[in-house]
Amino acid sequence: MGKQIWKAGNMLYPLPAVLVSVADRAGSSNLFTVAWTGTVCSDPPMVSISVRPERYSYHMIEETGEFVINLTTEALAYAVDYCGVRSGRDEDKWSAVHLTPAAAAHVKAPLVKESPVNIECRVTQKLALGSHDMFLAEVLAVHADERYLDERGKFCLNDAKPLVYSHGRYLAVGRELGGFGYSVKKKKK
């Protein structure tokens, strides 16, 4: 069997399925689902999210230049899907999916209390790319749920059962195959 050549498209999967929380200057907040997100730099720590300008939350990011990326888990799958297909123009999604807004340390946008990791972000640049605008942002703070710290203080995100998105489907993260550098690590005698 060979490989088919398809038209150009986004085939970089799986992706983290995250909930992004935002707030406007008046204090109204919203949640929405983003799969177009990622790390762009480690020093300084920076991330990106790509958002369609017609999304309800878009104006809140433009207005404040802030947002929070909230990592998600298998337990949050329903909320992730719901917040991706419903609009905050029509309802309070926090209440609809029974999630709890919590105060952030550096931004006005709330954290999702039920998320194992919350990443506070401040926009440094907006790039209009076509269907989506990319917001590049500096990471101001990371909140890690202490439930996932082991006895040595190491954060074990896999214990939270992270959620990913691939080709229109939500998936659980599978079993560990090795750690960073395992392919070149010397074997014990």
Cis peptide before 110 (omega within 30 of 0): no
Label residue 65 exposed, middle or buried (CB < 10 Å: 0-12, 13-18, 19+).
middle
CATH numbers and ranges of domains, the chain: 15-172 (2.30.110.10)
Q: Which long-range contacts (CB under 8 A, 24 or more apart) does 138-142 make?
A: 138/44, 138/45, 138/46, 139/44, 139/45, 139/46, 139/47, 140/105, 140/106, 140/107, 141/104, 141/105, 141/106, 142/117, 142/118
In tens, the pLDDT along 27-54 reads 999 999 999 999 999 999 999 999 999 9
| Nearest one of 15, 17, 19, 16 to 114, comparing CA atoms | 19
Of the pLDDT bands very low, low, confident and very high (cuts 50, 70, 90), residue 178 is: confident
In tens, the pLDDT along 55-70 reads 999 999 999 999 999 9
pLDDT number for residue 111? 98
Residue 188 has pLDDT above 90, yes or no: no
